[in-house]
């Protein structure tokens, strides 16, 4: 079983209460194993939620981070970042729509997106038109996206339907699907698209939480729905 020495520093009940799905810190630690982003790089945490992944990127990897999220309150995140001992030079919260990012062109050295890219990145034109313009030439994208071991939308397993509607499950796809989407990108080369190892452990951390979404997900997972699911790693470098 994989070990997550960096993520395990954050396994307190208070911090885990901020997660919004399967443990994003463990996903991020696996995603960034052997990464090529230099220390001190300016990194966009795209879909940063309540900011826990952004803190992780700043503290554990030494990146300067913009925490970009549409649904969380930047002031709440700013307070949290201060509580975690981070300065505005290290981390900046921004309310941002992933399809209309409010940054200068060629602004970031890299983008990291953990458990959110499937909501906005399924459009094959998204990378070229909406995201890569904000990344410097030679910059990296590291993406961990929730998926399926094999697309089964035409015959959805009943276990999955215990917690999710067909419309919700349409956000989940397999490696082949993501390769098909990302391979249409003209502005970047694909370095990796593969199934991640993290699945059972990150789900277990999530299902322990007492918020309504975690509770709602338990029915499918307790019935064995996890055997159909995975996470997909996507790594790109801009030309």
Residue 144 lies in a domain: yes
pLDDT over 70 (residue 62): yes
Tell whether 219 is covered by a domain.
Answer: no
Domain count, the chain: 1
Burial label for 2, CB within 10 Å (0-12, 13-18, 19+), is exposed
Q: Is residue 166 included in any domain, yes or no?
A: no
Q: Is residue 224 part of a domain?
A: no
The residue segments making up the domain with residue 57 are 7-149+172-200+229-238
- Categorize the per-residue pLDDT at 60 as very low, low, confident or very high, splitting at 50, 70 and 90: very high
Q: Average model confidence (pLDDT) for the chain?
A: 97
Question: Across the strands, what pairs with 44?
Answer: 66, 111
Is the residue at 159 inside a domain?
no
Tokens 């299902």 sit on residue:
207
Q: What is the mean pLDDT of residues 7-19?
A: 97
How high is the pLDDT of residue 1? 53
**HEC string for 7-62:** HHHHCCHHHHCCCCCCCHHHHHHHHCCCCCCCCCCEEEEECCCCCHHHHHHHHHHC
In a domain, 19, yes or no: yes
Q: What are phi and psi for residue 53, nearest 5 degrees? A: -65, -35
Average pLDDT for 4-33: 97
Please check the confidence at residue 2 and state whether its pLDDT lies above 90. Answer: no
Average pLDDT over residues 203-228: 97
pLDDT above 70: percentage of residues in the chain:
99
205 part of a folded domain: no
In this structure, is residue 162 part of a structural domain?
Answer: no
The C-alpha atoms of residue 159 and residue 222 are separated, in whole angstroms, by 9
> In angstroms, how far is CA 115 from the centroid of its own chain?
3
Residue 165 has pLDDT above 90, yes or no: yes
- d(C-alpha 142, C-alpha 125), whole Å: 18
Q: What is the mean pLDDT of residues 222-233?
A: 98
The interaxial angle of helices 52-61 and 74-83, nearest 10 deg, is 40
Give the pLDDT confidence of 66-99 residue by residue, as tens digits: 999 999 999 999 999 999 999 999 999 999 999 9
**Res. 152: pLDDT tops 90:** yes
Identify the DSSP state of 127. Answer: I
CATH number at residue 84: 3.40.50.150
């Amino acid at each position: 079983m994989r070990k997550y020495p960096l993520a395990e520093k954050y396994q307190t009940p208070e911090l885990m209460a901020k997660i919004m799905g399967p443990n994003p810190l463990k996903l991020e630690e696996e995603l960034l194993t052997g990464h090529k982003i230099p220390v001190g790089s300016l990194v966009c945490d795209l879909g940063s939620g309540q900011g826990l992944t952004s803190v992780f990127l700043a503290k554990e990897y030494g990146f300067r981070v913009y925490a970009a999220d549409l649904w969380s309150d930047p002031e709440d995140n700013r307070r949290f970042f201060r509580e975690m001992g981070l300065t505005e030079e290290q981390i900046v919260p921004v309310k941002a729509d992933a399809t209309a990012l409010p940054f200068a062109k060629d602004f970031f050295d890299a983008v990291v997106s953990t458990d959110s890219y499937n909501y906005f990145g399924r459009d094959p034109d998204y990378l070229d038109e909406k995201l890569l313009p904000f990344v410097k030439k030679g910059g990296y994208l590291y993406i961990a996206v929730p998926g399926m071991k094999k697309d089964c939308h035409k015959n959805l397993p009943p276990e999955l339907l215990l917690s999710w509607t067909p419309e919700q499950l349409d956000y989940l796809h397999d490696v082949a699907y993501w390769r098909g989407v990302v391979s249409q990108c003209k502005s970047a080369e694909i370095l990796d698209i593969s199934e991640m190892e993290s699945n059972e452990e990150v789900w277990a951390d999530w299902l322990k939480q007492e918020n309504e979404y975690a509770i709602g997900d338990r029915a499918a997972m307790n019935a064995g729905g996890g055997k159909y699911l995975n996470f997909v790693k996507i790594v790109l470098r801009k030309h």
